[in-house]
Amino acid sequence: MKNKMILGKSIEKWKEEYPLLNKLTSTEEVFWTNPKYTKFEEAIRKITLTEKDIIDAEERLERFASYIKKIFPETKENNGIIESPIVEIPTMKKHIEKSFNQNIFGDLLLKCDSHLPISGSIKARGGIYEVLKHAEDLAIQHGMLTKEDDYSILDSDEFRKFFSNYSIAVGSTGNLGLSIGIMSAKLGFKVTVHMSSDAKKWKKDLLRSKGVIVVEYESDYSKAVEEGRKQSDADPNSYFVDDENSKNLFLGYAVAASRLKKQLESLNIVVDQDHPLFVYLPCGVGGGPGGVAFGLKLAYKDNVHCFFAEPTHSPCMLIGSMTGTHDKVCVQDFGIDNITAADGLAVGRASGFVGRTLENLLSGVYTVNDDQLYVLLSALADTENFYLEPSALAGIPGVVDLFKTEAGEKYLEYNNLKDKMKHFTHIVWATGGSMVPKVEMNQYYQYGITLSSLK
């Protein structure tokens, strides 16, 4: 349809207003900085969520630690707190500087949510948190639990029987389903995961092996969510985890910030006005990166700069934020197909809740093409021996773009950052990968090697 209208305007008109749409619709890589980015103290006034909400989430996770430790032995070392390491990646930094022909000023670190216990992705933060919160709400409502109890009592037939009267449902491209499914099944809930067509077979198999009901859809993530919600809403004892609007998910992710702060302190990495922090977060619907970014802004205010990364074929947060239309549009409206190998990021419509919450706090969004993800995947494996899933590599090009693009240059100038470049710390958020089966991972790696040799 040539004259298709999007919110009452033709594509040509949108492109006239936002020229970057020309590149976006031809799936070229772009780096966009947010003209609405504002000083923290001013931006936070418009947001209803507060530090108190994050502390509440943090305390809830602490209450559950004795239970988590008991049922997931891999969390024993960290006393039942689900957290990931952060590491410097100096060899990868040199490799990037060489292959992109661009100096990277400051230190480069990798936040390894790829290696979070239980489900091996950033979803082990928000997803697991939301299930635990729901379980706690139910048990307290029914007089079975108080906040003062030792929550390891949840690991009992009595509680499993109680939770089996309730259902949990979620729509997912894969990793959220893994987190929600594994955690819910362990507690005893009946759990259904509605999976989009791009979800990997091994994720479905793994979930089924844990007693999770997996429903598959031919279409993309939005459809899986829609159907999941419909079926769940029909059952009063069913709870639907709403990836697009859930404040609980968001707060579960946000807890990452205070943990990261402690990790940086123990590495003697200073973050202050003269030592700014840059964080690069792969973005799907927005909850994960949004929650983490929100927590980081509360922790570091104007001294942290958060950028989101999206596949060139799924730039939903970029288009929603740039045009201010958020969830009123999807990438398909603009003729972009939402087909990408970055399965956690294959989302055509961003969360309106996240987009609006971060309207003035997000520094920018950039896009990365799929081939680049594979090339970086094998480079990171060769240089640092870290094996991530393709989506999780999307953070890396942002570090290059910040220095190499005109928009990045302007951002540094406008925010008076140019004389501080030597003291920058960059954190690339590695959002998933440790649960990918070896055979699959080896295919990713080989594909990356093949692409690199063609360059």
Ligand X SMILES: *Cc1c(COP(=O)(O)O)cnc(C)c1O
Single out the residue of 117, 181, 228, 286 in contact with ligand X (rule: CB under 6 A).
Answer: 286
What whole-number distance in Å separates Cα of residue 433 and Cα of residue 115?
A: 7
Q: How far is CA 285 from CA 79, 196, 369, in A?
A: 31, 14, 18
Asked if residue 284 binds ligand X (CB under 6 A), the reply is yes
Cβ closer to ligand X: 86 or 145? 86
Cβ closer to ligand X: 154 or 193? 193
For residue 112, give the 3-state DSSP assignment: strand
Write out the two tokens for 190: 């009946």
Q: Phi/psi at 407 (nearest 5 deg)?
A: -65, -40
Give the binding range for ligand X (CB under 6 A) out of 97-105, 118-126, 194-202, 411-419.
Answer: 118-126
- Binders in 164-203 for ligand X, by CB under 6 A: 175
Minimum distance between the CB of residue 199 and ligand X, rounded to whole angstroms? 11
Asked if residue 368 binds ligand X (CB under 6 A), the reply is no
Write out the two tokens for 58: 């943090």
Asked if residue 69 binds ligand X (CB under 6 A), the reply is no
CB 451 within 8 A of CB 418: no
Minimum distance between the CB of residue 98 and ligand X, rounded to whole angstroms? 26
Single out the residue of 203, 431, 436, 444 in contact with ligand X (rule: CB under 6 A).
Answer: 431
Largest CA distance in the chain: 64
Cβ closer to ligand X: 92 or 347? 347
Write out the two tokens for 99: 């292959």
Asked if residue 389 binds ligand X (CB under 6 A), the reply is yes
Write out the two tokens for 394: 């999307």
Letters for 336-355 (x = contact with ligand X by CB under 6 A, - = none) are --------xx----------
Write out the two tokens for 103: 């100096």
Q: How far is CA 276 from CA 270, 279, 382, 428, in A?
A: 8, 10, 29, 14
What whole-number distance in Å separates Cα of residue 47 and Cα of residue 197?
A: 35
Neighbours of 265 (CB within 10 A): 11
Cβ closer to ligand X: 151 or 243? 243
Minimum distance between the CB of residue 245 and ligand X, rounded to whole angstroms? 12
Cβ closer to ligand X: 122 or 257? 122
Single out the residue of 177, 252, 276, 288 in contact with ligand X (rule: CB under 6 A).
Answer: 288
Cβ closer to ligand X: 118 or 122? 122
Give the binding range for ligand X (CB under 6 A) out of 116-124, 151-159, 192-200, 438-446.
Answer: 116-124
Minimum distance between the CB of residue 344 and ligand X, rounded to whole angstroms? 3
Closest to 159 (Cα-Cα) out of 143, 148, 179, 178: 143
- Binders in 394-423 for ligand X, by CB under 6 A: none
For residue 365, give the 3-state DSSP assignment: strand
Cβ closer to ligand X: 166 or 357? 357
> 157: burial class by Cβ within 10 Å (0-12, 13-18, 19+)?
exposed
Q: Which amino acid, one-letter code, is at 55?
A: I
Single out the residue of 93, 111, 115, 123 in contact with ligand X (rule: CB under 6 A).
Answer: 123
What whole-number distance in Å separates Cα of residue 229 and Cα of residue 239?
A: 9
Give the binding range for ligand X (CB under 6 A) out of 28-36, 184-192, 284-292, 441-449.
Answer: 284-292
Cβ closer to ligand X: 154 or 214? 214
- Binders in 79-108 for ligand X, by CB under 6 A: none
Write out the two tokens for 159: 């509680």
What whole-number distance in Å separates Cα of residue 425 and Cα of residue 416?
A: 16
Minimum distance between the CB of residue 352 and ligand X, rounded to whole angstroms? 13
Q: Interface with ligand X by CB under 6 A: which residues?
A: 121-123, 175, 282-289, 344-345, 389, 391-392, 431-432
